[in-house]
Structure 1
Amino acid sequence: MFPDLTRDDVFRIETRRLWLRWPRAKDGEAIVRLAGERAVAEMTAQIPHPIVPEAIDAFVLDARRANSAGAGLTLALSLRSSPMHLVGLVGIVRRDEEPCAHLGYWLGRPHWGAGLMSEAVAAMIDAYFAYAGGTVLVSSARVVNPASRRVLEKGGFVRTGTETHAFPARGGDLEVDAFRLDRARWLDGERACAPALSAA
């Protein structure tokens, strides 16, 4: 799905305020601390609460393996002023139940409200369509998470409806708003957040 350019762990995307880089084993503690916070985990469909710290090592290895194979691209978010300190994650992967590539993300609560995730999502959208030649990207946001819906709308995604899915990590069914972005819409630039970015 992703080209050779992204398949080496020196790959990163730089935006105005962020570095998006491959996750590392050293990020595990920050992932447990930030994603494991109830306020963060409950706004997602995939993150369990509490997080089992031992599972994070396997998650990072799986993400790096998928990045290396080009099967997906999961990147750690760091502030440019502190590039070694993870503040969130963003990724594009293929899920068994979905025919299209899926965008997922989370951001640590100390960094909410500053537009950082909109910046990161815009960069990942560009990477998917420009570097990987993607045609369609899908995502979802819990109906109880209006901030996540705004991130997707700023990125140019269009809401396609509300769906109920079984999410074992959350212990039952959850309602999510489904979103879709196709290449034509991306090429038209129909989004509110389009940061300048560079890949290294």
Structure 2
Amino acid sequence: MRHDPDSEPDCCPVGSLERPPAFDCPVLLTETLVLRAPHAEDIDAIAILADNPAIATMVSRIPHPYGRADAETFVRTSAKRGNGNCVYAITDAETGQLFGCCSLETGNDGRSLELGYWIGEPFWRRGIATQAVHALVDMAFRTREIDHIDARCRVINPASRRVLQKSGFQFQGSGMINILSINASAAVEWFRLDRKTWISLIGWSKDNKLAAL
């Protein structure tokens, strides 16, 4: 997952009077999760969970080590929803405990989104990432005129691959991306979920009801 909301693609030519479309990033509810904008109260939890090489080395833009100042910058910049980007804190619906973060970023073509997510290591293997991805995907296809959603995961991250596959994403190919925490490129797999496939899989929402506030 990318972790730098300030890094946004250019949307308009220089001198253009057009502005990027504004999109809501609604609070999303599932059976056990609330996905909402990161708050100042999340800073300490984000700093603790993200300061973990097992997290940072699996995503593209989380530095390591990761301190409180990094978390403060992340929370502040995530509020800038330019170009239709949405950043969410993944939290427990009952306790409000922070599990991780996820995001949707608008593709350069304006007809696609890129999905990213990370879950803190203490909360792995609970199905949290899959539940959050389903909520994001449903919201995106229901509220935006997009053709597909892309996602990437490192080839050495089978857990993330399983999340994408269980969510209907289909393998497209492999490539290399730069990983900030290791200051080097790493091999990744590229997955895509198109609208037609999503429509055929909407049944997943029976056990993962989505509501927008």
TM-score normalised by L of structure 1: 0.87
Give the match for residue 48 of structure 1: 63
Alignment of 1:46-195 (within 5 A): 46-66=61-81, 69=82, 71-83=84-96, 85-94=97-106, 100-189=112-201, 195=208
Equivalent residue, structure 1, for 2:33: 18
Change (3 A) 1:14 1:3: farther
Runs (4 or more) in structure 1 with deviation over 4 Å come to: 1-5, 95-99, 190-194
Q: CA deviation at 1:100?
A: 3.5
Q: Is the 8 A contact 1:155 1:193 kept in 2?
A: no
Structure 1 residues 3 and 160: alpha-carbon distance in aligned structure 2, compared to 1, 3 A threshold: same
After superposition, the C-alpha distances for 1:137-170 in whole angstroms (9 at most, x for unaligned) are 1000111100000000111100111111233343
Alpha-carbon shift at residue 55 of structure 1 (Å): 2.3
- Contact between 1:154 and 1:191, CA under 8 Å: does it hold in 2? no
Once the two structures are TM-superposed, the CA of residue 98 in structure 1 deviates from its matched residue by 9.9
Contiguous gaps of at least 5 residues in structure 1: none
CA positional deviation for 1:18: 0.4
> Is the partner of 1:47 in helix, strand or coil?
coil
User: What is the aligned length?
Assistant: 193
Relative to structure 1, is the Cα distance of residues 153 and 192 closer, same or farther in structure 2, using a 3 angstrom cutoff? farther
Paired with 1:4 and 1:99, the residues of 2 have a C-alpha distance of: 14
What are the ranges of 5 or more consecutive residues in structure 2 without an aligned counterpart?
Answer: 1-19
Identity of aligned residues (%): 31
SS at match of 1:134: coil
User: Shift in Å at residue 128 of structure 1?
Assistant: 0.7
Are the equivalent residues in 2 in contact too, given 1:107–1:117 (CA < 8 A)?
yes
Shift of 1:135: 1.6
Greater CA radius of gyration, 1 or 2? 2
